[in-house]
Amino acid sequence: MKRLLAVLLSICLLAMPAGGQAGPGLALSETRVSKALPLARPDWPRPDDPHMVFFLQRSMNRNTVVYAARYDAEGRLARRPVAAYWRRYEEQNQAKPLKLVERMFAYGVKTRAVNGGERWQVTFAPLSALTVEMRQTGPFQSALWARINNRDYKLIYGFLDLDGGGLVPRVVQLRLYTYDPVSENHVTHLISVSGGDIQE
């Protein structure tokens, strides 16, 4: 019974916007350019799952959310082109599905076909303000691209800085690690997060 009450409380907390906002407030606070890809936590493992297009780490532990492309038998993006799941490094490195609450409010994605399915609009559950597009570059090959300040960046991974001081840890900053094909540099976008449903 206690477990059921805890789950219901989590659902209510996740579903309730903070401060009366409809969603999180996102503000680009800083951009850092580097030749090499920076590592948020060099001592943590990085997933190398098949068809992975993005992964998300959090400051609370090494468990990582992996986003992988799905393809049909001919190597074209499937009708549901993105799979999101855990890589549980704090346990036995196993893959585990996201729970319903995690899919709906924290780490899930929605997709919509654009241009006949050659491209897909991808919306991360808590970050609807971030414009992301999945583009296929060849059979069994694709990447996620984010539109930031009117430029396209290839997404590599993200890192969530959490404030664990309250009942429910809250995201205070998102670090997006990207690649800029124009300058051939890696670009880290530091995005401050305030309010909304982007909670653990």
Do 56 and 65 contact (CB within 8 A), yes or no? yes
Average pLDDT of 114-138?
A: 87
Q: How far apart are CA 199 and CA 185, in angstroms?
A: 31
Question: In terms of pLDDT, which residue wins out, 128 or 109?
Answer: 109
Q: What's the pTM value of the predicted model, to 2 decimals? A: 0.84
Q: Which residue type sits at 158?
A: G
Cα 106 to Cα 100: distance, rounded to the nearest angstrom: 10
pLDDT, position 195? 66
pLDDT value of residue 194? 79
